[in-house]
């Protein structure tokens, strides 16, 4: 049984991409492609600085791991002011820049503020960062250590 002609035109009218859809797809591609190429260009241009920052971050995080591996009592004995580098600080070496390590008691202080500089023996603030105050990003890492 033949299909009447009046039912077929909707199939041919809706088949394929229209000019409007093609132009819209090209417009979206162009709008998304410009920021992507800018980001890639910036990433390639700043690659040498990223290598140094990655090395410095690795140095700071490895020093932090060494300090956190110390027994709690030894950390408590070396606890001082949160703004004064502790004896765990490291001078600049061949591979790593100087790293400042801070160990301080954490808890309620005499002014009833919770934070570094408290008088608790049960919680310590441990922080590490690049010792150079002129470094753009000192890469600070901090954590709390409990007994």
CA distance 127 to 141: 5
Question: Could you tell me the pLDDT band of residue 109, with boundaries at 50, 70 and 90?
Answer: low
Total domains in the chain come to 1
Q: What is the pTM of this model?
A: 0.66
Q: Tokens representing 132?
A: 């150079």
Question: Could you tell me the pLDDT band of residue 87, with boundaries at 50, 70 and 90?
Answer: very high
- Tell me which residue range forms the domain holding 17: 1-147
CA distance 103 to 72: 11
- R_g (Cα) of the chain, nearest Å: 30
Answer with the residue of higher pLDDT: 63 or 12. 63
CA-based angle 128:138:111, to the nearest 5? 60
């Amino acid at each position: 049984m033949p299909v009447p002609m009046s039912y077929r035109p909707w199939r041919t009218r809706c088949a394929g991409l229209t000019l409007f859809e093609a132009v819209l797809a090209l417009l979206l591609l162009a709008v998304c492609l410009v920021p992507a190429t800018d980001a890639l260009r910036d990433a390639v241009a700043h690659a040498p600085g990223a290598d140094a920052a990655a090395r410095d971050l690795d140095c700071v995080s490895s020093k932090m791991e060494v300090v956190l591996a110390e027994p709690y009592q030894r950390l408590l004995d070396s606890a001082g002011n949160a703004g004064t580098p502790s004896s765990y600080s490291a001078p600049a070496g061949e591979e790593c820049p100087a790293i400042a390590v801070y160990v301080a008691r954490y808890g309620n202080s005499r002014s009833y503020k919770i934070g570094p500089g408290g008088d608790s023996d049960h919680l310590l603030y441990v922080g590490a960062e690049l010792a150079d105050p002129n470094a753009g990003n000192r890469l600070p890492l901090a954590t709390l250590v409990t007994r």
